[in-house]
A and B are shown apart, each in its own frame.
Chain A
């Protein structure tokens, strides 16, 4: 099996913030082109890659969505050479102080997020933690240089470098959701050596962290018969141990809840057991918080499923995933796709076996 680690590291070494995904899109396009038949982009910039199936006539299509955008910051004001910021996606301001960042101005500028001296703040803002509105980014340049190089609306991304940790884990920023892009790449690599009746649309969606715009609009445009989102799930770790967490390195998390079709969940569970791929069940009682939410209600509705990669410290610059989990998701997906019968959709039923959940 090809080593997915170098590709994944390259994905988490570029920015690609929501609505500005070009840097990561180029990397993904280059990697996917030899694996598929056709590559195009949606009207708002999602990457669509089609691998045709071998079935006869008009083949049904499955869409696999992995969002390629990442969270970050944006310049809102410039005051005496210091940058005020707003968020792109959901950023926890408590982890920002001291974080190395890159300001994407007229050129890339290294910077750091700073807590201003408390006495420069109004009394009621000297809280712990300091709110995002009072944090500043310092690029170490005199105000005149900053004025010339940085403008309101410029992007700011995390600059933490990828680090391999013990136990074959990888740490870095934007593993949410570049780890899933890597998993989908593993799937495409596997499919290169397999027969599959269905057409496969591998889609790297835009703007999941803001509005799910990419998933909603690509599902509308491609009109697939089935949809699977691949995202990340909260892994157990310090302060995170309840029912909303799954084990790191314990295999893919298969989602269960209103957003997902129970028939698809059961089918994937049976497959994982048969392939001896360990897995957890990821409970999403109302809302999965992922592209699956938009995929399920595109047009007249699409039977949808969600596979997740366990990940610690979500939405921080030091997210952690187990490489094995990335590979397992890719493999499970490829097997699932290759086993889809041409008439699979007509077999989808709502009523499970007696006593099944």
Chain B
């Protein structure tokens, strides 16, 4: 699974420009699904139909599982007279995570992030006082222009039990979804694995794909924050203690019936899990819940350190347990009345 994760995290895909990662995922799921299609906003919808057993019981239950393909990035606002590139953020890019970063543009060009000087060397300037340096000397020889998009670049790091990479948020969710699809095989339910677009800029792909699918229930697979490094005081989530069953985050309250379903599946199958309350941040599940007449939703989270940096770190045991948990969940759906 590490190899899959390396391929996925290496791929380019800032919000709105997910072509490369979508093509990669399409290759990975070929042969595993009954139906693969792309919708109006570029969401990749991978459908695994219910088996004969499921269909004989009447309308099979439609489940939507969302993992977002897009990552945060930068878009060029201006190339100045000396070839320095000003930018705006794509998704949640925080100034303190940028100094020393490297980026790569869609056209393959690479660059480094530079900072204007501040009064005190310990201050971090705001984004509008940073720039990208691709080695150009004027705006005429600069190979990028206003509107071009870049993603962050950092090589995949294998630390044994733990791995770190850029865009673990949410390529780890995509990897878990792909593995769950592979291991699930045929089930009694109509399962839609949706690799969504534009989550980082407002869960847009999830909203429209959920509208199109109209699921009976659903959940997202995403990273969550962490509480187990020096100075972190507010969250319980820790690496290595199992996937997190999300009860609440900054944008959504999970449906209690979905939480119960997840907890039951974990306990019955002796899969370690954590209970997650995250203050701040949200996932595709928020958008799914509000669609049409409403969808009961929740989220299976992968505890992840250093979120929205280029070195997001997860524990492979949590990842494997997340796959186990999701397969167990999809084999016995909750009763919703």
Q: Chain B contacts of A133 at CB under 8 A?
A: 234
Across the interface, do A18 and B295 meet the contact criterion of CB distance under 8 Å?
no
Q: Are A44 and B289 in touch, CB under 8 angstroms?
A: yes
Is residue A207 contacting chain B, with contact meaning CB distance below 8 A? yes
Closest chain B residue to A216, Cβ basis: B290
Binding site for B on A (CB under 8 A): 18-20, 42-46, 74-77, 84, 86, 88, 133, 151-153, 207, 210-211, 213-214, 216-218, 220-221
- Is B143 an interface position by the 8 A CB rule? no
Asked if B236 contacts A76 (CB within 8 A), the reply is yes
Assuming the A-B contacts A76-B235, A77-B235, A153-B275, are A86 and B248 also in contact, with contact meaning beta carbons closer than 8 angstroms in the complex? yes
A214 to B294, CA, bound (A): 8
Taking the closest CB of chain A, its distance from the CB of B212, in whole angstroms, is 15
B293 in contact with A43 (CB, 8 Å): yes
Q: Chain A contacts of B286 at CB under 8 A?
A: 211
Q: Give the distance to chain A from B233, nearest Cβ to Cβ, in Å.
A: 8
Instruction: Check if B295 sits within 8 Å of A210, measured CB to CB.
Output: no
B296 interface hit (Cβ, 8 Å): yes
**CB interface residues, B 276-311, toward A, < 8 Å:** 276-277, 279, 286, 289-296
Q: Once the chains bind, are B294 and A42 in contact (CB under 8 Å)?
A: yes
State which of A20, A218, A220 has its C-beta within 8 Å of the C-beta of B256. A20
Residue of B nearest to A219 (CB): B293
How many residues in B have their beta carbons less than 8 Å from beta carbons of A? 28
Which of A44, A46, A151 is B255 in contact with, Cβ under 8 Å? A44
Q: Which of B206-229 contact A (CB under 8 A)?
A: 216, 227
Contact check, A18 vs B253: say whether CB atoms are below 8 A apart: yes
**Complex-state Cα separation, A153 to B292, whole angstroms:** 27
Beyond A211-B286, A217-B292, 9 extra complex contacts between A and B, CB < 8 Å:
A19-B255, A20-B253, A20-B256, A76-B235, A76-B279, A77-B227, A133-B234, A152-B275, A217-B290
Given known contacts A77-B234, A133-B234, is B290 in contact with A211 (CB within 8 Å)? yes
Sample 7 A-B pairs with CB under 8 A, ordered by A number.
Answer: A43-B216, A43-B293, A44-B289, A88-B253, A210-B253, A211-B252, A220-B292
Q: Which of A20, A153, A211, A216 has the most CB of B within 10 A?
A: A153
Q: For the complex, would chain B's binding face be called helix, strand, loop or mixed by DSSP majority?
A: loop
Q: List A contacts of B253 (CB < 8 A).
A: 18-20, 88, 207, 210
Shortest CB distance A125–B (Å): 10
Output the residue of A18, A217, A218, A221 with the most chain B CB within 10 A: A217
Measured CA separation A8–B296 after assembly (Å): 29
Q: Which residue among B276, B292, B336 has the maximum number of chain A CB atoms within 10 Å of its CB? A: B292
B247 within 8 A of A: yes
Q: At the interface, yes or no: B95 with Cβ under 8 Å from chain A?
A: no
Bound: A94/B251 CA distance, A: 23
Identify B275's interface contact among A19, A42, A151, A207, CB under 8 A: A151
Closest A residue to B277 by beta carbon equals A76
CB distance from B241 to the nearest CB of A (A): 12
B15 at the interface (CB under 8 A from A): no
Look across to chain A and name the residue whose beta carbon is closest to the beta carbon of B244: A152
Residues of A within 8 A of B275 (CB): 151-153
Question: B292 contacts which chain A residues (CB < 8 A)?
Answer: 217, 220-221
Q: Which residues of A contact B295 (CB under 8 A)?
A: 43-44
CA distance in complex: A45, B291 (Å): 14
Quick check: is B196 within 8 A (CB to CB) of the other chain?
no
Q: Judge whether B294 and A152 touch: CB under 8 Å.
A: no
Residues of B within 8 A of A88 (CB): 248, 253
Using Cβ atoms and an 8 Å threshold, which residues of chain B touch A46? Answer: 294
Confirm or deny: B197 has a beta carbon within 8 angstroms of a beta carbon on chain A: no
Asked if residues B256 and A19 are in contact (CB atoms below 8 Å), the reply is yes
Cβ of B310 to closest chain A Cβ, rounded Å: 28
1/0 per residue B128-154: CB within 8 Å of A? Answer: 000000000000000000000000000
Distance between Cα atoms of A289 and B71 in the complex (Å): 32
- Residues of B with C-beta under 8 A to A151: 275
- Residue from the list A45, A74, A216, A217 in contact with B248, Cβ < 8 A: A74
Question: With a CB–CB cut-off of 8 A, which chain B residues contact A211?
Answer: 251-252, 286, 289-290
- CB-CB under 8 A from B227, the residues of chain A are 77
**Contact indicator A42/B293 (Cβ below 8 Å):** yes
Contact of B293 among A75, A152, A221 (CB under 8 A): A221
B235 cross-chain contacts in A, Cβ below 8 A: 76-77
A152 touches B296 (CB 8 A): no
B236 touching A152, Cβ below 8 Å: yes
Hey, which chain B residues are within 8 Å of A18, CB to CB?
253
Query: For residue B247, which residue of chain A has the nearest CB?
Result: A153
**Given A43-B296, A76-B236, A88-B253: A213 touches B277 (CB 8 Å cut-off):** no
- Whether B236 contacts A77 by the Cβ 8 Å rule is yes
